[in-house]
Amino acid sequence: MSIADNIHRLNAELAGTAARLCVVTKTHPVELLQEAYDAGARCFGENRPQEMAAKQPQLPPDVEWHLIGQLQTNKVKLLAPFVHTIQSIDSLKLLRVINKYAAANNRVINGLLQFHIAQEENKSGLTLAEAEEMLTAPEFAQLQNVRLTGVMGVATFTSDEAQLRQEFRMLHGYFDHLKDRYFAHAPAFRDISMGMSGDYKLAVAEGSTLVRVGSAIFGSRG
Ligand SMILES: *Cc1c(COP(=O)(O)O)cnc(C)c1O
């Protein structure tokens, strides 16, 4: 199966669901990203700021670049001129810095609140209480150049379907709660980014709106 075949098959699978595809392109050379682009992919996910910044000028300008890995504040400046969505928002400090550099570029940058839903300790993300603390901080209301568009989570690396479903449900529950309480009048707050190559079917069944798929398209990363 070619990259194009895989993308067409995934898009066909997602048609009629709430979910769209974000192609995870980390570690892959720009030639393969161009192949994905030519097959219709427009959302690309990278997890390293420098790698994303190096690839961006080599692809067409209508690519939506999503950062899906942890972001240190000293790297925000590198991405601010072009990044579409930062899926890994985990602090008010990070939001503040994104806002500052987005403003300097006359842009609004989208962000997803990343939640810790896995049982593994090493996976990062907020608790619901931490997210609510951010959203109720007076400073949050002042940030005009960063727009929260939903939530993101990485499930446990397991084949236990009950476990995965429970984690996806938990993230969906966080989304519903935040939508209801803080974003009821913000139509842009609508994304639940969950599901990867190994678990996207379950994530879609549990209401994902954005699946992040890499190895099911490109093969395993060497
Ligand atoms: C690498 C990565 C993915 C894609 O993983 P695959 O198993 O290759 O589909 C999705 N989300 C995040 C946060 C990642 O780091």
Domains of the chain: 3-218 (3.20.20.10)
Q: What is the largest CA-CA distance in the chain?
A: 51
The pLDDT, as a whole number, for residue 147 is 98
The pLDDT, as a whole number, for residue 182 is 98
d(CA 107, CA 72): 20
Instruction: Give the contacts of 99 (CB within 8 A, at least 6 positions apart).
Output: 143, 144, 145, 146
Kindly report the protein residue whose alpha carbon is nearest to atom 14 of ligand 1. Answer: 68
CB 14 within 8 A of CB 21: yes
d(CA 133, CA 114): 14
Q: Verify whether ligand 1 is closer than 6 Å to residue 117 (CB atom).
A: no
d(CA 16, CA 6): 18
What is the position in ligand 1's atom list of the atom closest to the CA of 152? 13
What is the position in ligand 1's atom list of the atom closest to the CA of 218? 8
Q: Verify whether ligand 1 is closer than 6 Å to residue 143 (CB atom).
A: no
- Residue 218 in tokens: 């490109």
Buried residues in 27-44 as b, exposed as e (16+ CB within 10 A): ebeeebbebbbebebebb
The pLDDT, as a whole number, for residue 124 is 85
Q: Verify whether ligand 1 is closer than 6 Å to residue 68 (CB atom).
A: yes
Could you tell me which residues are beta bridge partners of residue 210?
Answer: 20, 193
Distance 47 CA to ligand 1 centre (A): 9
| Residue bearing tokens 């236990």 | 160
Instruction: Give the contacts of 41 (CB within 8 A, at least 6 positions apart).
Output: 7, 21, 23
Tens digit of pLDDT per residue, the chain (222 long)?
899 999 999 999 999 999 999 999 999 999 999 999 999 999 999 999 999 999 999 999 999 999 999 999 999 999 999 999 999 999 999 999 999 999 999 999 999 999 999 998 777 899 999 999 999 999 999 999 999 999 999 999 999 999 999 999 999 999 999 999 999 999 999 999 999 999 999 999 999 999 999 999 999 876
The pLDDT, as a whole number, for residue 120 is 85
Q: Verify whether ligand 1 is closer than 6 Å to residue 47 (CB atom).
A: yes
The pLDDT, as a whole number, for residue 222 is 66
The pLDDT, as a whole number, for residue 59 is 98
What is the position in ligand 1's atom list of the atom closest to the CA of 68? 13
Q: Which of 7, 24, 151 for a ligand 1 pocket mutation test, highest count of atoms within 8 Å of Cβ?
A: 24
- Residue 131 in tokens: 């997210």
Buried residues in 181-219 as b, exposed as e (16+ CB within 10 A): ebbeeeeebebbbbbbbebbebbbebbbbbbbbbebbbe
Distance 136 CA to ligand 1 centre (A): 31
Distance 214 CA to ligand 1 centre (A): 6
The pLDDT, as a whole number, for residue 37 is 98
- Residue 58 in tokens: 């080599």
d(CA 68, CA 64): 12
d(CA 180, CA 185): 9
The pLDDT, as a whole number, for residue 121 is 79
Q: Verify whether ligand 1 is closer than 6 Å to residue 219 (CB atom).
A: no
What is the position in ligand 1's atom list of the atom closest to the CA of 47? 15
The pLDDT, as a whole number, for residue 122 is 74
Q: What is the DSSP letter of 65?
A: E
Q: What is the DSSP letter of 58?
A: G
